[in-house]
Amino acid sequence: MTDDKDVLRDVWFGRIPTCFTLYQDEITEREAEPYYLLLPRVSYLTLVTDKVKKHFQKVMRQEDISEIWFEYEGTPLKWHYPIGLLFDLLASSSALPWNITVHFKSFPEKDLLHCPSKDVIEAHFMSCVKEADALKHKSQVINEMQKKDHKQLWMGLQNDRFDQFWAINRKLMEYPAEENGFRYIPFRIYQTTTERPFIQKLFRPVATDGQLHTLGDLLKEVCPSAVAPEDGGKKNQVMIHGIEPMLETPLQWLSEHLSYPDNFLHISIIPQPTD
Amino acid sequence: MSLDRLPHHLTARKWPGRSWDYILAGMERSAAAMPSSELWAVDLFGRVFTLSTAGRHWELCRDAQLEFKRVSAAAPCCWGIACDNQVYVHVGASDVPIRCREEAYENQRWNPVGGFCETLLPSDRWPWSDVSGLQHRPLDGVALPSPHWEWESDWYVDENFGGEPTEKGGWTYAIDFPATYTRDKKWNSCVRRRRWTRYRRYKSRDTWAKIPSEDDPQRLPDPFSDISVGGWEITDEPVGRLSVWAVSLQGKVWYREDVSHPNPEGSSWSLVDTPGEAVQISCGPHDLLWVSLWEGQALVREGINRNNPKGSSWSVVEPPTSENGILHVSAGVGVVWAVTKDRKVWFRRGVNSHNPCGTSWIEMVGEMMMVNVGLNDQVWGIGWADRALYFRHGVTQSELSGKTWKAIVAGRECDGSHAGSLSSLLSAGCFFGDEVRGGGESRVPSDSEAKRPGPDPEHDVEVAGPASAPAELPWTNIDLKEPKKGPSHAAADFPEATNLSSLALLPLGLEEPDSTNCHALWAWVSGGGCAVEAHTTLKWFTVHSGLSASMQMLSLSITPAQTAAWRKQIFQQLTERTKRELENFRHYEQAVEQVGSARVHFFQHTFIEHLLHASPESVWVKTGALQWWCDWKPHKWVDVRVALEQFTGHDGVRDSILFIYYVVHEEKKYIHVFLNEVTALVPVLIEAKHSFAVYTPERTRQRWPVRLAAATEQDMSDWLALLDLSCCESRRVHGRPSPQAIWSVTCKGDIFVSEPSPDLEAPEHWLPCDQMFWRQMGGHLRVVEANSRGVVWGIGYDHTAWVYTGGYGGGCFQGLASSTSNIYTQSDVKCVYIYENQRWNPVTGYTSRGLPTDRYMWSDATGLQECTKASTKPPSLQWAWVSDWFVDFSVPGGTDQEGWQYASDFPALYHGHKTMKDFVRRRCWTRKCKLVTSGPWLEVAPIALGDVSIIPESPGAHGSGPGIALWAVSDKGDVLCRLGVSELNPAGSSWLHVGTDQPFASVSIGGCYQVWAVARDGSAFYRGSVSPSKPAGDCWYLIPSPPKQRLKQVSVGHTAVFALDENGNLWYRQGVTPSYPQGTSWEHVSNNVRHVSVGPLDQVWVIANKVQGSHSLSRGTVCRRTGVQPLEPKGQGWDYGIGGGWDHLSVRASATRGPRSSSQETAGKWRREQGLPSGRSQVAGAPQETPNPACC
């Protein structure tokens, strides 16, 4: 019998095989070999790329090194998006491994946030968790936690410790027995086709008539173009963690099982590959 | 000794005092497990309907030929007055019959000529008499009391005399009548007698049974006009008693004598004088009885108690206003509601047992024809103008008056369509009303009369409410009475409701539904059998559209969600994703290494460094402050720092070490525990501390676990869950236990499971049982029994039966340690007993002043511990009181009317009446407490159980048929056989009652359908001819107990039969063969045994009473009998396992054979021998000395 717990594990241990290559214009002392790595889907680029940085810095002069940043097919990769989201959104239809270009120069100030240290990632991560809990439980759960619990969440993510993370995170996934779900579902919907970075609205897991809202209900409400494209021809994929859940899937279940560690459902709407 | 005193639902509702919480105890179950109860109502055409708390539709009461005026319901039955003015009682169906034993004695005297003969002396008793000999009682003169009874069998001689079989004919002998009778005929036995018994059975169940009219028409000249049932909760009364009161047309009040569960009809009506002419009567569940009088006042009965359920006197309560008298009253436990002649509803404040009259009237909102107070003081009413049914929403113990009236819009179950087919019901449109109702006051009668003069059967007055807008009247809180509004005004107030419902009305206007499909106006309602509590979700108030209703059913039930396509797809896609993204890239480096330990240790120690060196894959730590019960004397709780370090070995297996750092004499020290060596983690909730014990094989042998205590419950369960997860991980134990698992229960009701390793039952080099790993399951049980096909049943302290759902976790194991489905709320109730002791002195009589040497005047049962009402606490922090202290009258030895038991001195044998020699007395006080937890258990309602046994099956027998034999003993002592039990339906379908002549205590079914049982009098019985085709067998064979011992439990393995007596002796049944399954004699095996479980391999496991370890003594220890061989089924010695507080164990699923099978031979032999004309004892073992598991 498959258990819903297995979903949590599968989500957590999702990996994207990645090939890092140094940008051609970077000045090196000798040739930079590409660097291959399995990136955790649920983590953040700048959190898991110490090895990449070290690898390329070995072939570079100290004065040519400034803040590292990544780019895929011309798009700078936002480190504050989870890796799995970046991949689903930008590269899910291309062949593996994922080819990421590493830059040490010309930081794209208008596209990316600076990431001077892991503390910044932690701050970003925790603010997402708090925002999610504000939506789910009016912040009651996260505020009742102790500082060490917050730390454990972060350390669990940083050290890829599933048990450590979920020992705390499960509390964020609870809801009162008399309710049928969270107050609102923390979600963000991303589309490559629009300028808007993402869609985020208040949406309840349960309709007023007590019926559970599904993924389809959510899309119909907040992003109708995703399910019924106006141009008729082009269909979209609705992707979370590299899979396409059926539109009948209850949103509450998705939120409990397919949320990223920041407790948000990051949903990518991408055009159906034409082939 | 009547076997069938009560069914479960009655006991569950036998509440002491006025404890509302306890009422909930039986009902506060998860929705899936919650037994439903029913609301009864009568419509204007006299048809009786019931509405289940779990349902959405009214169901027409079966036997619908009769039309009724009034009904009054209790949990097990409903009384009513039909239109023929006769009184009827409707007793619900149950798997356990209502049986009553009739008996008669045949008396004989010896004379020198004919020996014993029927010729008695003139001064003697009747040759056929009752037990006293005073009443003539010929067998053919014993008649059935009413046409609703039938004989179960013919008269037969009872050959069982106090648990011992008698000589032929069942005669017992004495010197003379009346005297002490003995089994044996002596030289001076001049008289003899024997008992004839015959059972009668109440047959008119699930139908209306007419109460026979009074024989003497003079006594009951006029028909009844009102009836009320209640009184089943009068403090300390015998369980199952009911008070039935009636009012006749002449205004007289009548009481029905002797109504109880075993006698549902009662015996006769007796007149209770009233100071005025009564019109209507209401009897609360407890001791409230109110009557409304013609003159408009109410009468209140005073002095109702256990010894005098009819009460002693009347008090008069004046109506709220003198101009409008009381029309109708209804009493609950702590409330009285009334309706006055101006249709106003009133709430009586301050009503309770001590002050049944209450203090004052409060006017409520709404105009009602009648109101009815049901269980938990919940209130229903019938609207004056619309004759619709209303439920008082928001009635809680703290707010007895509730919040609003809510219309019940449940539809009527249409004939021919079944409950499940919602859409067809809804499409019929018959639930939708044809008009919109506003507030009750806004509806003046002329409004509806103008449209529809006269009562109209087609006039459906149900409030029409779409799913999104439940029909709810705007009546708000009691004290905030709204100003009256005109009808048009009201309509304008609810435009939304108007619009939405008018849509629903359209089809109704077009086609008038058939009157049988559409219920009419209500005349009467009774909630006395309807258990609604604060958290019950009722589906009575909304009408769902067909689609949404079915959708909601889908999303609410577990199974469809589990099998839903979306869920499958997610699992499948995740697997595909992993394959796609990882399969060809496994050689890639991981971005995040499992980093080495940079964690803080409180103390440097080379040990862990060594360990880390050995396994670079390390470590995450949970640290914290706990308390530790120190190893040295004096033992006490000392503050410690604790760290759990987890690492991954090179083989990928995760393991953990628990470090406990302490300071002794200012020196820092630590102890450590490898979690892969931990054999059990046991919560120990005592001394108001949240503590738990950590066992390893070493610690088990010492009888000295590591005991740790956390500051808060949350902290403790966090630690426990984490340690449990680590233990399970290092042993690679996860998911649900295997069907072969060994189940056990501690004396705290915690449930533990152990997976038997293949060498557990190996004949040689078996795994010592102190090395077995025990893992906790959520839930709370007293008994757990399993079989190797995965069927597991449990029994709670409150005798509730539970079936295992296949989940795991629950309780404090949340999150990862718990399955997502199959976990339900579970509650249990148990009693705490204390004793009030008094000594007699010549001046003042009995007082609470004892001798200096006496026990405490308030003590525990032993008298050694002082236990006062105020200082006695629930057993642990998990438990909460749910009742007040009340006197327990059901203690062994009997009590007087105040519950006292007398004796010559402390401690002594107590008896229930005072004699000259008695200088001390005591009485037992009881208080109920309740625990709510969760676990993989679902209730098997409604019959409460005392014992259960599932057939043990050897692996070869798997799938040997759809049915799994399961026997049980109800808490009343009825023997029951469960039908329809299978792997897919472990709860089974129904009970088959197996008749017995006395209440039973224990039952066990062996691998070859040998059913053994132990009666409450300590005798054993063997059930003949039980087979898959004849699941209940044919008759009982009495098996004499071991000399001077009363048996209390029996366990039958594949072939071996072991029994346990009340003094802790374990007995083996010698000489059991297929052709003579009863065996020949009992052979002593060991003493010091508390419980025995014989498994499918005939392995013998017990819970030993006391076991001495190297460090301390433990009580309640799991022990396995060693050296059990086919030729030596009694075994040789004991192997001690986990212990200290273990209470129950079932190895009956553990069918995993060792490398060299031993019992297969026995089994084969058994089968070979089966059918042979005679068999010799296959057991060669001569009686021999066996070491007892006791060391002290």
CA distance B66 to B404: 34
pLDDT band of residue B955 (cuts 50, 70, 90) is: low
Nearest CA to CA, how far is A25 from chain B (Å)? 25
Residues B716-751: b if buried by 16+ CB within 10 A, e if exposed: bbbbbbbbbbbbbbbbebeebbebbbbbbbbbbbbb
Helix (H, G, I), strand (E, B) or coil at A154: helix
Q: Is A146 inside any structural domain?
A: yes
pLDDT band of residue B966 (cuts 50, 70, 90) is: very high
CB contact under 8 A, A15 and B571: no
Please report, for the domain that includes residue A238, its CATH number.
Answer: 3.10.20.90
Q: What pLDDT digit, counting tens, does each position of A98-152 carry?
A: 999 999 988 998 889 998 888 999 999 999 999 999 999 999 899 988 888 898 8
| Of A171, A201, A217, the domain-final residue | A171
In the prediction, which pLDDT does B619 show? 65
Could you tell me which residues come within 8 angstroms of residue B575 by beta carbon, excluding any fewer than 6 positions away?
Answer: A10
Q: Is the pLDDT of residue B504 over 80?
A: no
Q: What pLDDT digit, counting tens, does each position of B862-913 carry?
A: 888 888 888 888 888 788 888 888 888 888 888 888 889 888 887 777 888 8
Same domain, A102 and A138: no
Q: Is A270 inside any structural domain?
A: no
Tell me which residue has tokens 């970077």: A26
DSSP assignment of B877-894 equals TT-EE-S--EE----TT-
Tally of structural domains, chain A: 3
CB contact under 8 A, A249 and B573: no
Task: Return residues 96-155 of A near B (CB < 8 Å).
Answer: 96-97, 155
Helix axes A4-12, A162-172, angle to 10 degrees: 120
Q: Which residues of B touch A178 (CB under 8 A)?
A: 535
Mean of the pLDDT values across residues B592-608?
43
Question: Which of B120-134, B203-217, B1084-1098 is modeled with the greatest confidence?
Answer: B1084-1098
CA distance B847 to B750: 41
B711 touches chain A (CB under 8 A): no
Which among B1021, B949, B1020 is positioned nearest to B978, based on CA atoms? B949
Q: What pLDDT digit, counting tens, does each position of A86-109 carry?
A: 999 999 888 889 999 999 988 998
The more confident residue out of B1161 and B1132 is: B1132
Q: Is A33 inside any structural domain?
A: yes
CB contact under 8 A, A51 and B552: no
Q: Which residues of B touch A2 (CB under 8 A)?
A: 571
Q: What is the ipTM of this complex?
A: 0.92
Mean of the pLDDT values across residues B67-74?
92
CA distance B743 to B1149: 9
Could you tell me which residues come within 8 angstroms of residue B320 by beta carbon, excluding any fewer than 6 positions away?
Answer: B326, B338, B340, B344, B346, B361, B363
Alpha-carbon torsion B130, B133, B134, B138, what sign? positive
Mean pLDDT of chain B: 77
B582 touches chain A (CB under 8 A): yes
Tokens representing residue B792 in the block: 């597991």
Q: Phi and psi (nearest 5°) for B1081?
A: -155, 165
Q: What pLDDT digit, counting tens, does each position of B393-446 carry?
A: 888 888 888 888 888 887 775 443 333 333 333 333 333 333 333 333 333 333
Parallel, antiparallel, or unpaired: how do β-strands A15-22 and A98-103 relate? parallel
The sheet carrying B278-283 orders its strands as B278-283, B289-293, B298-302, B313-317
**Residue B203: left (phi > 0), alpha (psi -120 to 50), or beta?**
alpha
Architecture of domain B222-412: 7 Propeller (2.130)
Question: Which of B184-188, B377-381, B725-729 is modeled with the greatest confidence?
Answer: B377-381
- Does B222-412 match B619-734 in CATH topology? no
In the prediction, which pLDDT does A257 show? 92
User: How many other CB atoms sit within 10 Å of the CB of residue B1116?
Assistant: 21
Helix (H, G, I), strand (E, B) or coil at B1036: strand
Same domain, A131 and A83: no
Tell me which residue has tokens 């436990």: B333
| Of A146, A171, A196, the domain-final residue | A171
CB contact under 8 A, B816 and A166: yes
CA distance B872 to B858: 10
B30 touches chain A (CB under 8 A): no
Distances (CA, A) of B676 to A164, B673, B702, B719: 19, 9, 19, 16
Q: Based on the number of CB atoms within 10 Å of its own CB, is B386 exposed (0-12), middle (13-18) or buried (19 or more)?
A: buried
Q: Provide the whole-model pTM.
A: 0.67
Strand partners, B640: B626
Q: Considering just the CA atoms, what is the radius of gyration of chain A in Å?
A: 20
Same domain, A82 and A20: yes
In the prediction, which pLDDT does B469 show? 39
Q: What pLDDT digit, counting tens, does each position of B702-724 carry?
A: 888 999 999 888 888 888 888 88
> In this complex, how many residue pairs, one in chain A and one in chain B, have their CB atoms less than 8 Å apart?
133
Q: Is A178 inside any structural domain?
A: no
CB contact under 8 A, B577 and A243: yes
> Looking at domain B619-734, does it have CATH number 3.40.50.1820?
no
- Which range has the worst mean pLDDT, A158-167, B109-118, B586-595, B1007-1016? B586-595
Please report, for the domain that includes residue A56, its CATH number.
Answer: 3.10.20.620
Tell me which residue has tokens 């120069």: A105
Helix (H, G, I), strand (E, B) or coil at A5: helix
In the prediction, which pLDDT does B1191 show? 36
Nearest CA to CA, how far is B752 from chain A (Å)? 22
Could you tell me which residues come within 8 angstroms of residue B1126 by beta carbon, excluding any fewer than 6 positions away?
Answer: B1158, B1159, B1161, B1162, B1165
Tokens representing residue B545 in the block: 């559209």
CA distance B628 to B282: 59
CA distance B1066 to B1059: 6
CA distance B814 to B338: 48
Strand partners, B1029: none
Q: Is A30 inside any structural domain?
A: yes
Which among B34, B22, B66, B28 is positioned nearest to B47, based on CA atoms? B66
Helix (H, G, I), strand (E, B) or coil at B292: strand
Could you tell me which residues come within 8 angstroms of residue B963 by beta carbon, excluding any fewer than 6 positions away?
Answer: B979, B980, B981, B982, B1028, B1031
Helix axes A147-158, A162-172, angle to 10 degrees: 130
Query: What H or E segment, with its residue span, contains residue B207?
Result: none
Tokens representing residue B31 in the block: 């929705």
CB contact under 8 A, B588 and A6: no
What end-to-end distance do the CA atoms of chain B give, in Å? 39
Alpha-carbon torsion A92, A95, A96, A101, what sign? negative
What are the residue boundaries of the structural domains of chain B, listed by start?
Answer: 99-202, 222-412, 619-734, 832-871+882-926
CA distance B746 to B811: 15
Helix, strand, coil shares, percent, chain A, to 5: 35, 20, 45
CA distance A256 to A193: 28
CB contact under 8 A, A96 and B582: no
CA distance B363 to B479: 7
Q: Which long-range contacts (CB under 8 A, 24 or more apart) does B1175-1178 make?
A: B1175/B1073, B1175/B1074, B1175/B1075, B1175/B1076, B1176/B1073, B1177/B1070, B1177/B1071, B1177/B1072, B1177/B1073, B1177/B1080, B1178/B1073
Displacement of CA B1146 from its chain's centroid (Å): 21
Q: Which residues of B touch A249 (CB under 8 A)?
A: 566-567, 570
Beta-strand (E) ranges in B440-546?
522-526
Please report, for the domain that includes residue A152, its CATH number.
Answer: 1.10.246.190
**Residue B1128: left (phi > 0), alpha (psi -120 to 50), or beta?**
beta
B564 touches chain A (CB under 8 A): yes
Distances (CA, A) of B964 to A20, B789, B1170: 62, 9, 21
Q: Which residues of A touch B718 (CB under 8 A)?
A: 167
CB contact under 8 A, A167 and B467: no
Structural domain including A201 reads 185-226+233-264
In the prediction, which pLDDT does B217 show? 58
Q: What pLDDT digit, counting tens, does each position of A31-89 carry?
A: 888 899 999 999 999 999 888 988 888 888 888 788 899 999 989 999 999 999 999 99
